[in-house]
Structures are given as structure tokens and as C-alpha cells.
Amino acid sequence: MQKIAKCYAKNVTGENLENKIMKTYFYKGYRDILSDHKEDGKDNLDLIKKEILKIFDVKNLSFLIGAGCSSLEIDKENNGKKEKIQIGIPVMSILASDFYQTLNAKDSTYIKNTLKIDLSKEPFKNNLEKLLEVLYSYKFLLEKQGKDIKRVNAFIKKVNAFLLDKCKNEENNKAYSDILDLYKLFYKKLIYRDNNLSKTNIFTTNYDLYSESALDTLGVLYCNGFSGFVERSFNPAVFNYAFAEQMELSNNKWNVIDNFIYLYKLHGSINWIESEEQNHLFNVREVQDLDKVLGTRMIYPTPMKHMATLASPYSDLFREFQKKIMQDKTVLVVVGYSFSDEHINNLIYQALTIPTFRLVVFQDETKEKIKQLKDLNDPRIWIIGGEDSGGSKVYYFDYIVKNILPDIDEEKIEESIDKVLKSFFKNKFEK
């Protein structure tokens, strides 16, 4: 108690950030394991890193990344003073606020009188996806009644155009580059996990293309549920496949490749469309030209359980999420996710019924959903956050990637490169 009291003994009002005594926390159930540790920031960080390093050796490792991972907080000079600003793709609450400000009087009247929605109240105030849910539901109802759907279609298209523009993030090339570099470093740290362990699963509620762009730039193979080259169509069966390299031509010996990622976009993607063609079992396609997306029906962002046309790919993706986190000896690391999707939350709660499941959450402990997790007082639930001695938020994606995730083993990278080169020259001379 003396240590805790010491942290708050000073009145920090009006003091510079550097003079504040910050508090980093690491809860296992109710117990903050850092409270028994030295109050040295570096020592606390080292302890967190050691604990996170251990989970990289578990049999099944999965990450759930949310909207907070596609934005970045930076310092900016304003009238001689430094202030924190967010760059990149805004989080959902800001997206909702920005979109509502674009509405004209006619739009506002339509939402209030026809849809009976008050945008100033929850759940719509801070969640644009909730508005899309209502729009799709209303469209479904009108179609069943044989009524005109032009107005609701136009509104859905307006929301989609707004989201597409924000996710492309073309107005700030530096922000895009900085966040892309962060994703590249994130995946670099994941792909060199022990090859004898299962491949890492990345589940995301984001529908931007940062993950795909980072993996493509790194030359890392990944599976996102689509197959084909000229025309890529959704096929959940590919989640059961693995990429392997032929080790010995004569003995037909194969080995699963090291750098491979499974990517699951639970809320869809800005480059997914519903195809009118019925050439495939699933009529969902992945397109490369985003300028053509708005001319078709985009699949993102919210699964509508009661609408058969949107049952897939969402039902398949959520089934994969459930299957992966329900496996024995699984760790799910949650970053940048606000626990706003009850479907995802329920699946996580189900996984907690498995004794070997562990949940690691990087988040602000004052959030209501995080309080609920903490109140379970389960030592398998780790909650990590707070600020370090420099005022940086420990639970932000950039801090986690740069300071907490295990450092890249340069020796192992060199070994992997040598292995590839030897295999290349061996196969070349054998031909």
C-alpha cells in the first residue's frame, strides 16, 4: 500500500508530464504483479517483456487487433506547445462523429423520422457500424414488402464511400507510411516464431488494408480465406491449408514454411464485394482496384445474422475464430479492440471456460468492459496498460510493437536466409 500511495502522493496538477509519477499496470486477475516489483520504469517494462516472451512459445497463438491499431498518436507543435494528435484511420467513435457532421438537413430528417434514430445517443453516437446495421435491416424489410429501396441504398452507398475514403487514408501519405512501417515491424516479430508450433492467427475487426500491404511488402505468404489469382473468390476451406516447401526432390519430402500468417477479417474489408456471378459456391470476391468498389455491393463492415445474403463470409470467419481460440493451450492477445462487438465478446467468454485458454488484453483499465474482465478475478486474464515514466501509453499498438513484443532474432533471420539460398542453389544444380 505504501508503494501505491507513493505513486499518488504528489499533486501533479499543472506539472510538466516529465515530473509526473506514472503508473504501469499488469493485472493477473485482481493482482497487479508490478506492485510487488521495483518502481523503476525499465524494470517494469523488462518484466512485461519477459512474460510476453513466454506466450510466444505456446502451442496456439492468436492476436485480435482492432481500430486502435490503424491510428497513431504523435506530438505536434501548436503555438509553441506540444500536443498529442491522432493520425491514420480514426477509431470508430471519431469516424461516427466525422460522418454525422457531413449529413445535410435532408439526411438528418431521414434518419430521425424514417429510421427513428437519435444519433446523439448510444449505440449510434460512437459506432457507425450500428447505423449500417439499421440501414441494412431496413433495406431487407423494404425488399420483403416490395417497396422502393433507392433512398436507403443511396444512404448505404454514402456511408460506404465515407468509410472507403477514410480507410484509403490518401490525404496523409506520411501517416500511411508510418503506420505501414509499424505493421511491417509487427509481422516481422511474429513470423519467426518456432516452426514446430502452429502458425500465428491474426483476427481483426479492421477493414483497411494495412495488414495485407505490410505482408506483401515483406514478401510473407498469408491466407485470408480467398483463393484464385485472376479472380479471387472466398473459400473458407483454404484456412485448413498450409504452405510447404519441397526439401528433397528424390524422397518427396516437404516442410511447412516458416513465414506464414493466417489473416481473418471478421468485419470484412474495403476490397471485398458481393459478386453477381454464381460461378462459385461463395459469391464474395476480393478486388485490387478500389476505385471500382463503389460501383458494386461492398461486403463490409457488419455481419447481419438474420440476412441470408450476408451470412457468408461472416459466419465462416466467426466459426474459424471460435475454432481457433477453443483449441487446447491457446493464448489470445487483444490489442486496439474496445470490446464493442458482443458476438466476438461472447466467443471470448466461451473460450474462458477452457482451463488452458489465456487472454492477454492491452487496454485502459477504466473502460467498462475491461472492468468486467478484471472483476472475474481470473489469473488467466492478463490486463496490461497505463503509462510509462515518459508518459507514453503502454497499451498503444506502436508502444507494444516497438517496446514489448520480443525483439527480432537477427541470428535466426540470417539462418533463414542462408537456408533459402542453399535450397535455391541445390535445386538449381539438381535440375
Could you tell me if residue 430 is inside a domain? Answer: no
Which residues, in sequence order, are CB contacts of 401 under 8 Å at separation 6+?
A: 182, 185, 186, 189
Confidence of residue 266 (pLDDT cuts 50, 70, 90): very high
Could you tell me if residue 254 is inside a domain? Answer: yes
- Number of domains into which the chain is organized: 2
114 and 73 together in one domain:
no
pLDDT of residue 3: 39
Residue 407 or 179, more confident = 179
Could you tell me if residue 428 is inside a domain? Answer: no
**For residue range 358-368, what is the model confidence (pLDDT) as tens digits?**
999 999 999 99
Could you tell me if residue 429 is inside a domain? Answer: no
Q: State the alpha helices, DSSP H only, in 146-295.
A: 150-168, 173-191, 210-218
Mean residue pLDDT of the chain comes to: 82
What Å distances lie between residue 123 and 112, 129, 157, 182, CA to CA?
15, 9, 21, 31
User: What is residue 113's three-state secondary structure?
Assistant: helix
pLDDT of residue 277: 66
Q: Which of 168, 187, 210 is the last residue in one of the domains?
A: 168
154 and 195 together in one domain:
no
CATH classification of the domain holding 252: 3.40.50.1220
> 268: phi > 0 → left, psi -120 to 50 → alpha, else beta; which?
left
292 and 160 together in one domain:
no
Distance CA 25, CA 46 (A): 13
Residue with cell 474462458: 352
- Please tell me the total number of residues recorded for the chain in this structure: 431
Q: Which of 113, 133, 168 is the last residue in one of the domains?
A: 168
355 and 275 together in one domain:
yes
Taking a C-beta distance cutoff of 8 angstroms, is the pair 187, 220 a contact?
Answer: yes
295 and 416 together in one domain:
yes
pLDDT of residue 196: 83
**For residue range 15-73, what is the model confidence (pLDDT) as tens digits?**
343 333 358 999 999 999 998 765 556 788 999 999 999 999 999 999 999 999 998 88
User: What is residue 1's three-state secondary structure?
Assistant: coil
118 and 238 together in one domain:
no
112 and 178 together in one domain:
no
61 and 155 together in one domain:
no
- Mean pLDDT along residues 271-293: 74
Which residues, in sequence order, are CB contacts of 117 under 8 Å at separation 6+?
A: 111, 124, 131, 134
pLDDT of residue 317: 93
Binning the chain into helix, strand and coil, the percentages to the nearest 5 are 45, 20, 40
**For residue range 419-431, what is the model confidence (pLDDT) as tens digits?**
666 665 665 555 5
**For residue range 168-196, what is the model confidence (pLDDT) as tens digits?**
766 666 778 889 999 999 999 998 788 78
- Mean pLDDT along residues 262-288: 81
341 and 266 together in one domain:
yes
∠ CA(12), CA(15), CA(21), 5° rounding? 50
Could you tell me if residue 311 is inside a domain? Answer: yes
pTM of the full structure: 0.82
Range of the domain at 115: 92-168
Confidence of residue 281 (pLDDT cuts 50, 70, 90): low
258 and 141 together in one domain:
no
35 and 184 together in one domain:
yes
116 and 194 together in one domain:
no
Question: In this model, does residue 251 exceed pLDDT 60?
Answer: yes
Could you tell me if residue 148 is inside a domain? Answer: yes
50 grid coordinates: 519477459
Q: Which of 100, 134, 168 is the last residue in one of the domains?
A: 168
**For residue range 344-392, what is the model confidence (pLDDT) as tens digits?**
999 999 999 999 999 999 999 999 999 999 999 999 999 999 999 888 9
